[in-house]
Chain A
């Protein structure tokens, strides 16, 4: 039995004429220890999908099953990493993580908790910054805290909702590697939501595209079986990689092209020449006459 299963799940928001069907007919089975990436356009319902799994939303139709039982609400067995970090700004790095640890492991002694927290802080290379406030950290460092907080709960499933989208390309690359390295150590089940095909290929075992909404649904899955760690410059020469990347991108271009809107009216461009203010316009006039 799959660890997590979504069966014919549909979800809509609003009612009457303003009703929007965000997701329809989602079927997904995630096995234990698997790393699945869901790639989709912004606004297609990726976050809604994650919220169905973490228990913040419930499906209108169909069911979301964890170990074969329906999900009844959020719980520490599913750790979430949000795009906007969602740290408590008045707590230090250490205390942000402590908050989660206190909640999940109330029976640990003070010292055990301390060791536990420090282990995860060092895992994300933040030991030097453990007493800093989130406001004193860069975006990349904040996201590291968020990763440590989710992992410190020792969840069965790690849910990542566009964790790296707000970061610049360089930090993004480093964090992708770090997350994969940490993930490889204990191979927990992980679901990554992303809009970046390359991120999916570098991190996941399986990539499933989400078609643009409304009525978004999952497309055909793409298996990624490259050895980890995957290094972009190396796999770039691999012909399987090229094929895989092109197939995914082309699928997304195909489904994305239906989104383009055209208006019926045609506009004609008046044939006018611009005038540029300043000395050059004056110059030009003198040269010509």
Chain B
């Protein structure tokens, strides 16, 4: 991590010697309605360290996706600030890559070309061969090594979502934002993709924020699970640290004596 000359005070390194990658301060989002503002999020405080994997769970409609789209810069904030790597965000940018719930690929392009679009933006000076190499590297990592030139439309939904993951990692983002990335997949395919995601993440150690409503997914992926209260005026209700060793193996995580305690804790939060 680079040292900044004008590092503001709050970024001075603390007990966890990793710097804060994402800081949301007094974040507020309100949508105007004829009856006055509908406040989705209010006074939300969130700090995420460099290299940390955080998952956010909450009921549908609690404002999880609103929070994520605001961090991505796709949705303007109504109050408060979002700082990424020490600077306030200005709109969307390739330093924050998003994996959406629906794969959102360009249907007329091949898997490789879909990844290439982003790569061209962030590596403008790389040679053509290098760019292709980057795309192929990540597509191979997500298990699409034999399908570079297949069109997005001829891939199954699970495979399309794999392209989405490759596309996000290929940007070499500072933060990876995942908005219910596996919500549309069946629970078994979901498990496979979680493995794929963690495998690449383990290598790159990118700061990641994943939104999910699947309790098992949130535990398996994250170092820290953040529980959001239901809206309106949603904020962070509770936090749970998941100390399991990495790299994680699904079987070992399941067999961990405390696994079901964590699971129960999160389910209790969601059911009350």
Query: A-side interface residues toward B, CB under 8 Å?
Result: 40-43, 165, 168-170, 195-198, 232-233, 236-237, 242, 246, 249-250, 252-253, 256, 259-263, 265-270, 272-280, 283-284, 287
Q: For B94, B126, B186, B271, which residue has the most chain A Cβ atoms within 10 angstroms? A: B186
Among B10-18, B64-72, B117-125, the stretch in contact with A: B117-125
Q: A232 — which chain B residues lie within 8 A by C-beta?
A: 267
Among B39-47, B48-56, B131-139, B233-241, the stretch in contact with A: B131-139
Judge whether B187 and A267 touch: CB under 8 Å.
Answer: no
Q: For A260, A262, A274, A287, which residue has the most chain B Cβ atoms within 10 angstroms? A: A274
Judge whether B189 and A268 touch: CB under 8 Å.
Answer: no
CA distance A169 to B212 in the complex (A): 11
Judge whether A272 and B271 touch: CB under 8 Å.
Answer: no
Q: A252 — which chain B residues lie within 8 A by C-beta?
A: 188
Given A250-B251, A269-B133, A274-B94, 13 additional A-B pairs, CB 8 A: A41-B188, A195-B189, A242-B260, A246-B255, A252-B188, A260-B143, A263-B145, A266-B140, A267-B137, A269-B134, A274-B123, A274-B171, A275-B125
CA distance A68 to B156 in the complex (A): 39
CA distance A234 to B133 in the complex (A): 51
Q: A170 — which chain B residues lie within 8 A by C-beta?
A: 59-60
Tell me if B74 is interfacial: C-beta within 8 Å of chain A: no
CA distance A168 to B171 in the complex (A): 31
In the complex, residue of chain A having the shortest beta-carbon distance to the beta carbon of B87: A280
Tell me if B107 is interfacial: C-beta within 8 Å of chain A: no
Tell me if B213 is interfacial: C-beta within 8 Å of chain A: yes
Tell me if B4 is interfacial: C-beta within 8 Å of chain A: yes
Tell me if B205 is interfacial: C-beta within 8 Å of chain A: no
Q: B90 — which chain A residues lie within 8 A by C-beta?
A: 278-280
Judge whether B133 and A267 touch: CB under 8 Å.
Answer: yes
CA distance A233 to B269 in the complex (A): 10
Q: How far is the CB of B165 from chain A (nearest CB, A)?
A: 15
Judge whether B121 and A277 touch: CB under 8 Å.
Answer: yes
**Interface of A, helix, strand, loop or mixed by DSSP:** loop
Judge whether A268 and B133 touch: CB under 8 Å.
Answer: yes
Tell me if B268 is interfacial: C-beta within 8 Å of chain A: yes
Known contacts A265-B140, A272-B134, A283-B87; A249 and B254 CB within 8 A of each other = yes
Q: B94 — which chain A residues lie within 8 A by C-beta?
A: 274, 276-277
15 A-B residue pairs with CB within 8 Å: A41-B188, A169-B60, A169-B214, A233-B267, A236-B264, A253-B250, A256-B188, A259-B192, A263-B140, A268-B137, A269-B137, A272-B126, A272-B172, A274-B94, A276-B122
Judge whether A197 and B187 touch: CB under 8 Å.
Answer: yes
Judge whether B122 and A263 touch: CB under 8 Å.
Answer: no
Known contacts A262-B145, A273-B172, A277-B93; A236 and B188 CB within 8 A of each other = no
Lowest 6 CB-CB distances: which A-B pairs, in order? Answer: A263-B145, A195-B186, A274-B122, A267-B137, A274-B172, A270-B130
Judge whether B140 and A270 touch: CB under 8 Å.
Answer: no
Q: From residue 172 to 191 of chain B, which have CB atoms closer than 8 A to chain A? A: 172-173, 186-189, 191
Q: How far is the CB of B154 from chain A (nearest CB, A)?
A: 15
In the complex, residue of chain B having the shortest beta-carbon distance to the beta carbon of A286: B5
Judge whether A275 and B189 touch: CB under 8 Å.
Answer: no
Tell me if B146 is interfacial: C-beta within 8 Å of chain A: yes
User: B187-203 interface mask toward A, CB cutoff 8 Å, 1 = contact, 0 = none?
Assistant: 11101100000000000
Q: A196 — which chain B residues lie within 8 A by C-beta?
A: 186-187
CA distance A92 to B166 in the complex (A): 45
Q: How far is the CB of A121 from chain B (nearest CB, A)?
A: 27
Tell me if B25 is interfacial: C-beta within 8 Å of chain A: no
In the complex, residue of chain A having the shortest beta-carbon distance to the beta carbon of B136: A267
Q: How far is the CB of A264 from chain B (nearest CB, A)?
A: 8
Q: B143 — which chain A residues lie within 8 A by C-beta?
A: 260-262
Q: B145 — which chain A residues lie within 8 A by C-beta?
A: 261-263, 265
In the complex, residue of chain A having the shortest beta-carbon distance to the beta carbon of B213: A169
Q: How far is the CB of A60 from chain B (nearest CB, A)?
A: 26
Q: A266 — which chain B residues lie within 8 A by C-beta?
A: 140
In the complex, residue of chain B having the shortest beta-carbon distance to the beta carbon of A266: B140
Q: B173 — which chain A residues lie within 8 A by C-beta?
A: 274
Tell me if B150 is interfacial: C-beta within 8 Å of chain A: no
Judge whether A233 and B130 touch: CB under 8 Å.
Answer: no
CA distance A213 to B4 in the complex (A): 54
Tell me if B149 is interfacial: C-beta within 8 Å of chain A: no
Q: B134 — which chain A residues lie within 8 A by C-beta?
A: 269-270, 272
Out of B124, B254, B271, which one reaches A275, CB within 8 Å? B124
Tell me if B263 is interfacial: C-beta within 8 Å of chain A: yes
Out of A195, A246, A262, A273, which one reaches B187, CB within 8 Å? A195
Q: From residue 230 to 272 of chain B, which have CB atoms closer than 8 A to chain A? A: 250-251, 254-255, 260, 263-264, 267-268, 271
CA distance A177 to B62 in the complex (A): 24
User: B83-125 interface mask toward A, CB cutoff 8 Å, 1 = contact, 0 = none?
Assistant: 0000100110111000000000000000000000000011111
Judge whether A41 and B186 touch: CB under 8 Å.
Answer: yes
Q: How far is the CB of B265 from chain A (nearest CB, A)?
A: 10
Tell me if B33 is interfacial: C-beta within 8 Å of chain A: no
Judge whether A236 and B267 touch: CB under 8 Å.
Answer: yes
